Amino acid sequence: MNRPIESPTLAADPRLETLYRRPGFLIRRAHQIAMDMFIEACAPVDMTPSQYGVLYILQHIGPLSQIGVARLIGLDRSTAALVVKLLTERGHVMKAPSALDARKVEIAITPAGSQVLKQAAKLANREMKQLLAPFSESEGQMFLSLLEKFVAHHNDTTRVSIVGRSDA
């Protein structure tokens, strides 16, 4: 744990090592890297991680309320509304009255949305392999397990937690 930082970028100024070794700093930087890699990988289908998450949820869970989708992937209401609006404009999702309660509106993936998700999934899977490339296979699994443990432990302490149930 006390290994020196090997990255020339992070070790450029030893006076900054305390900052650069803070978990929050490293997590934020890792998030920036992961987002950039995803956006670059999925540029051919013009998809962001949030859009991918919404389409993935709808493809695998089925029609849900906008709030239900947001809760499953940890989006705040305003971000979820923007993502759903864009996906609707692109014809990837559609809104319809709920089958259980006609007063409620649900979002469902369209055939075009399923098709673009299929394309994006291939690109995202390649990106995930690139993202985990610095690790051996066992290190990659351990890294993901530790991230899952970290997220599970702190999930309920955030402004937008992930519910993790399809009946959200």
- For 124-148, give the DSSP string: HHHHHHHHTTTS-HHHHHHHHHHHH
Question: Is the residue at 4 inside a domain?
Answer: no
Question: Is the residue at 166 inside a domain?
Answer: no
Question: Is the residue at 9 inside a domain?
Answer: no
Which helix (H) or strand (E) segment is 109 a member of? strand 105-109
Domain with 107 in it: what CATH number?
1.10.10.10
Greatest C-alpha distance within the chain:
62
Nearest Cα residue to 98 out of 126, 52, 64: 64
What pLDDT does residue 9 have?
A: 60
Q: How many domains does the chain have?
A: 1
Reply yes or no on whether the pLDDT at 156 is more than 90.
no
Question: Is the residue at 6 inside a domain?
Answer: no
3-state secondary structure of 104: coil
d(CA 63, CA 43): 26
Per-residue pLDDT tens over the stretch 6-56: 565 666 788 888 888 899 999 999 999 999 999 999 999 999 999 999 999
What's the whole-model pTM score? 0.85
Structure tokens at 56: 């993935």
